[in-house]
Amino acid sequence: MHSYPTARVGVAGATGYAGQELVRRLARHPAADLRLAMGSTAAGPRRPSPALARVWSGDLAPLDPDRLAAETDVVFLAVPEEAAATIAPALVTAGRRVFDLSGAFRLRDAAARQRWYPHSPEPPSGVVYGLPELDREAVRTARLVACPGCYPTAALLALRPLAEAGLLRPDGDVVIDAKSGVSGAGRTPSERTHFSECHGNVGAYGVFAHRHGAEIAERLGFGVTFVPHLVPLDRGILETIYARLRPGAGAAAVAAAYQTAYTGAPFVRLTGEALPEIKHVVHTNFCDLGWKVDEPSGRVVIVACLDNLVKGAAGQAVQNFNLAFGLDERAGLD
Do 156 and 148 touch, CB atoms closer than 8 A? Answer: yes
Distances (CA, A) of 280 to 18, 133, 177, 206, 316: 19, 20, 20, 27, 17
- The residue annotated as part of the active site, out of 150, 198, 287, 305, is 150
From the list 149-157, 190-198, 214-222, 314-322, the region that binds a second copy by CB under 8 A is 190-198
Q: Shortest approach of a second copy to residue 130 CB, angstroms?
A: 22
CA gap 121, 114 in Å, rounded: 9
Among 89, 149, 276, 315, binds a second copy (CB under 8 A): 276
Residue 142, strand partner residues:
none
Q: What's 104's DSSP letter?
A: T
CA angle 214, 219, 220 (to 5 degrees): 95
In the list 30, 44, 62, 121, the residue contacting a second copy (rule: CB under 8 A) is 30
Annotation says 287 is catalytic:
no
Q: By the 8 A CB rule, do 69 and 92 touch? A: no
* Count of Cβ atoms closer than 10 Å to residue 74 Cβ: 23
Of 198-257, binders to a second copy (CB under 8 A) are 198-205, 207-208, 223, 225, 227, 229, 231-236, 238, 240, 242, 244
Which of 10, 17, 77, 167 forms a contact with a second copy (CB under 8 A)?
A: 17
Q: Which is nearer to a second copy, 183 or 316 (CB)?
A: 183
Stretch that binds a second copy, among 122-130, 133-141, 152-160, 263-271 (CB under 8 A): 263-271
Using the rule CB under 8 A, which residue among 115, 119, 140, 283 binds a second copy? 283
Nearest in space to 100 (alpha carbons), one of 65, 54, 156, 146: 146
Question: Which range, of 77-85, 103-111, 118-126, 277-285, touches a second copy by CB under 8 A?
Answer: 277-285
> Taking CB under 8 A as the rule, does residue 33 contact a second copy?
no
Residues 132, 328: contact at Cβ < 8 Å? no
* Region binding a second copy by CB under 8 A among candidate stretches 49-57, 154-162, 210-218, 253-261: 49-57
Query: Which residues ranging from 65 to 124 are in contact with a second copy (CB under 8 A)?
Result: none
Q: What are the E-state strand segments in 71-130?
A: 74-77, 97-100, 127-129
38, 59 contact by CB (below 8 A): no
Among 59, 166, 189, 252, binds a second copy (CB under 8 A): 189
Residues numbered 144-173 forming contacts with a second copy, rule: CB under 8 A = 172-173
What is the Cα–Cα distance from 21 to 32, expressed in whole angstroms?
15
Neighbours of 12 (CB within 10 A): 30
Give yes or no for residue 183 binding a second copy (CB under 8 A).
Answer: yes
From the list 179, 211, 219, 311, which residue makes contact with a second copy (rule: CB under 8 A)? 179
Q: How far is the CB of 222 from a second copy (least distance, A)?
A: 12
Applying CB under 8 A, which of residues 59, 114, 194, 256 lies at the interface with a second copy?
Answer: 194
Nearest distance from C-beta of residue 238 to a second copy, angstroms? 5
120 or 285: CB nearest a second copy: 285
44 touching a second copy, by CB under 8 A: no
- Residue 180, SS3 per DSSP: strand
CA distance 195 to 234: 11
Amino acid at 264: G
Residues within window 297-326 making contact with a second copy, judged by CB under 8 A: 297, 299, 301, 303, 305
From CA 330, how far away is CA 177, in angstroms rounded?
30
Strands 237-244 and 175-180: antiparallel
Binding mask 50-69 for a second copy (x = CB under 8 A): xx-xx---------------
Catalytic residues: 150
